[in-house]
């Protein structure tokens, strides 16, 4: 099954070589972290490869892959649509029903409160895979190998700063999730 999923990813992102390199980077980084945290390497690979599959779909294509509930939830933040659509494509096309894989894809942009280990791995790997060229990718990866929650928190902080640097306001949901992980790292939750 992984071979078919991989084929589909190459077929879809083949015209976007930088993006294709990125998803391979996420898959590889996620697999390394999966070994460290005793998670399934196959699940990490699937989620990593598939998370951005809908990135270049038109709005209409993405909406076709979503039900009304999700459309409404993120109506003001269509940046999230590619993640929701990707999870739905994987579920419908490849009959992958594993909630861990689907949630890792669905919530890879902002994360969510109470993420599983695999979800955290994909969230962090998306930021620190080496091909993306972020200055702090080594630092984030090292941090992730030692303390996944702190790495999650760091990535969320960077993402919020990035939004603010463009003169935009992060969503209330994104801020709440970040605050939740700040509390987690302080030992106040979970
Ligand atoms: Fe990504």
pLDDT tens-digit profile, the chain (190 residues): 899 999 999 999 999 999 999 999 999 999 999 999 999 999 999 999 999 999 999 999 999 999 999 999 999 999 999 999 999 999 999 999 999 999 999 999 999 999 999 999 999 999 999 988 888 999 999 999 999 999 999 999 999 999 999 999 999 999 999 999 999 999 866 5
pLDDT at residue 188, rounded to an integer: 67
Q: How close is the Cα of 49 to the center of ligand 1, in Å?
A: 9
Q: How close is the Cα of 115 to the center of ligand 1, in Å?
A: 17
Nearest to 56 by CA among 76, 81, 73, 75: 81
Q: How close is the Cα of 69 to the center of ligand 1, in Å?
A: 24
Q: How close is the Cα of 54 to the center of ligand 1, in Å?
A: 11
Fold of 2-185: Hypothetical protein af1432 (1.10.3210)
pLDDT at residue 189, rounded to an integer: 61
pLDDT at residue 1, rounded to an integer: 87
Q: How close is the Cα of 189 to the center of ligand 1, in Å?
A: 28
pLDDT at residue 50, rounded to an integer: 98
Q: How close is the Cα of 44 to the center of ligand 1, in Å?
A: 13
In Å, what is the CA distance from 151 to each residue of 128, 139, 156, 176, 188? 10, 9, 9, 17, 17
Cβ-contact 89, 54 below 8 angstroms: yes
Sequence ranges of the domains in the chain: 2-185
Q: How close is the Cα of 155 to the center of ligand 1, in Å?
A: 13
């Amino acid at each position: 099954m992984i071979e078919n999923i991989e084929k589909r990813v190459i077929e879809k992102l083949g015209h976007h070589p930088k993006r294709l390199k990125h998803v391979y980077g996420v898959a590889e980084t996620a697999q390394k972290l999966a070994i460290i945290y005793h998670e399934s390497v196959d699940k990490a690979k699937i989620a990593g490869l598939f998370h951005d599959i809908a990135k270049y779909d038109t709005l209409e294509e993405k909406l076709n892959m979503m039900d009304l509930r999700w459309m409404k939830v993120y109506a003001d933040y269509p940046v999230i649509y590619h993640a929701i659509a990707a999870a739905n494509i994987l579920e419908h096309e490849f009959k992958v029903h594993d909630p861990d894989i689907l949630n890792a894809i669905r919530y890879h942009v902002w994360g969510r409160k109470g993420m599983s280990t695999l979800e955290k791995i994909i969230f962090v790997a998306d930021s620190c895979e080496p091909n993306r060229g972020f200055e702090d990718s080594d630092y984030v990866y090292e941090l992730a190998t030692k303390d996944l929650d702190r790495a999650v928190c760091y990535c969320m902080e960077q993402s919020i700063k990035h939004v603010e640097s463009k003169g935009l306001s992060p969503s209330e949901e994104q801020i709440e999730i970040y605050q939740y992980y700040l509390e987690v790292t302080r030992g106040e939750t979970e």
